[in-house]
Structure 1
Amino acid sequence: MNGTTDDPTLHDRIELAYLPALADVREAVRVTLDAARWWRALRLLAYGAAALALLVAALELLLPGEPDPGTVAGMAGLGAAAVAAVHLMGWAVARAFFLSVRAQGEARAVVDAEGGRWAARDTEQVIRWAMLPRYAETDRLFVLLTPRKTGSGFAYLPKHGLADPADADRLRALLDRHSNRI
C-alpha cells in the first residue's frame, strides 16, 4: 500500500439537480415539525384549547337555563380556530419557504463526507455534518435536520433530483455514516 487512504466511502460524492416543488417543501416542513418537541407541545396545546372551548360550549348548552348563543358560538369558533391554526401553520411555513426557493430556479446539491452544498441562481450554502446530525427519509425525500438544541432547521434532498435511482442507496449509506436516522 502507498500510505494513502483508499477507502472509497471517504470519496463518496452524490449530486442532485432539481426544480423546487411545493410538495417536496411541504413534506420537508412536515417532517421537520414532527421532529420538533416544541411543535408537538404546541399541537397538544392547540387541541387541548379546542377541547376546553368545546367543553365550555357543551356545558353552556347542557346546563339548566337558557344557553347564551354568543358563548356557544364563540367557544365553538375558538376551538375550530385553534385546530385550524395548528394545521395551517405548517402549510404557511412551507408556502413561504417554497416561494423563496422557487424564485431561484433549479437547485443543485452536492453531498459528501464534509456535509452538503446547495446552490441556486443567487445563493450558495455549505452545511457541515455537525449542523445536520439527524435525518429522516420519506418516499420522496431525505430531510436533514439540525440538532434538537438549535431549533428546527432543515435541508432537504428530493429523490427525483438524483441522476440515477440507485444513487438513493448511496445517499442513504452516506447519511447513515455521518448522521443519525430518526
Structure 2
Amino acid sequence: MNGTSDDPALQDRVELAYPALPADVREAVRVALGAAAWWRGLRWLAYGSAVLAFLIAALELLLPGEPDAGTVAEMAGLGTAAIVVVRLMSRAVARAFLRAARAQGGDARVVVDAEGGRWTSRDTDTVIRWAMLPRYVETDRLFVLLTPRRAGTGFAYLPKHGLADPADADRLRALLDRHSSRV
C-alpha cells in the first residue's frame, strides 16, 4: 500500500506481507530478550557463575600442593556449560518460534492500524491491540513490538522487507510512535 491516499483511515494503516525468515526471527528474539529484565539477570547469573567456576579451577591449579584434576575439570566444564547454555538459549527460542510460524503457514500478512495489529497466515488470524504492544524497538531490518514489562517477553515483529514501498517504513514508524513508545 502506498502513502498517496487522501483517506485519513488509510493513512493510519500500513500493510506488510512477508515469509518467516530465520534471520528476522533470530533478530526479533534477540531484541525481545534484550528488553527483558529477567533475561539480563539470567545472563549475569550465568556469566558470573562461569567466572566463579573458572576462578576456582585457576586457584586449584595455582595454589601450592597437588591440584585435584577432578575439581579443575568439573569447574572448567561448569563454567563452559553456563556460557554455552546462555548463548544457545536465544537460538533455541528463535528456532521454536520459527517452527511454529512455519507450521501456521509461514507467510504472514499484517495490517497495522490505530487499533493495533492483525497477523494472518494460512492457518491463523490474530489481533493484538496496542495495550498489549505498548513498546517497540527499531533495528535496521525490523520493527519489534514488545509486550508491557509486567506481561513478560511477548513480541511481534514487522520486517521492513515486508513493506510494499520503502516509504511505508516512515508511515509505519509514525504509526508506532502514535500508539506505542520507542524503547
Same fold (TM over 0.5): yes
Structure 2 counterparts to residues 88-99 of structure 1, below 5 A: 88-99=88-99
Structure 2 counterparts to residues 29-44 of structure 1, below 5 A: 29-44=29-44
CA distance in 2, matches of 1:160, 1:145: 20
Shift of residue 12, structure 1, vs aligned partner: 1.2
Structure 2 counterparts to residues 50-89 of structure 1, below 5 A: 50-89=50-89
Q: How many residues align?
A: 177
Q: Does 1:124 align with 2:125?
A: yes
Identity of aligned residues (%): 76
Shift of residue 8, structure 1, vs aligned partner: 2.8
Alignment-derived partner of residue 3 in structure 1: none
Given that residues 133 and 147 in structure 1 are in contact (C-alpha distance below 8 angstroms), is that contact kept between their aligned partners in structure 2? yes
Q: 1:7 to 1:16 in 2, by over 3 A?
A: closer
> Any idea what SS the aligned residue of 2:79 has?
helix
Unaligned runs of 5+ in 2: 1-5
CA distance in 1, matches of 2:123, 2:32: 25
Given that residues 111 and 117 in structure 1 are in contact (C-alpha distance below 8 angstroms), is that contact kept between their aligned partners in structure 2? yes
CA distance in 2, matches of 1:90, 1:175: 26
Q: 1:11 to 1:114 in 2, by over 3 A?
A: farther
Given that residues 10 and 113 in structure 1 are in contact (C-alpha distance below 8 angstroms), is that contact kept between their aligned partners in structure 2? no
Alignment-derived partner of residue 171 in structure 2: 170
Given that residues 11 and 113 in structure 1 are in contact (C-alpha distance below 8 angstroms), is that contact kept between their aligned partners in structure 2? no
CA distance in 2, matches of 1:76, 1:9: 60
> Any idea what SS the aligned residue of 1:173 has?
helix
Q: Give, as a single letter, the amino acid of the residue that structure 2 aligns with 1:8.
A: P
Q: Give, as a single letter, the amino acid of the residue that structure 2 aligns with 1:173.
A: A
> Any idea what SS the aligned residue of 1:14 has?
strand
Shift of residue 150, structure 1, vs aligned partner: 0.6
CA RMSD of aligned residues (A): 1.4
Given that residues 145 and 155 in structure 1 are in contact (C-alpha distance below 8 angstroms), is that contact kept between their aligned partners in structure 2? yes
CA distance in 2, matches of 1:38, 1:83: 17
Q: Does 1:24 align with 2:18?
A: no
Shift of residue 10, structure 1, vs aligned partner: 7.9
Shift of residue 105, structure 1, vs aligned partner: 2.7
CA distance in 2, matches of 1:125, 1:11: 22
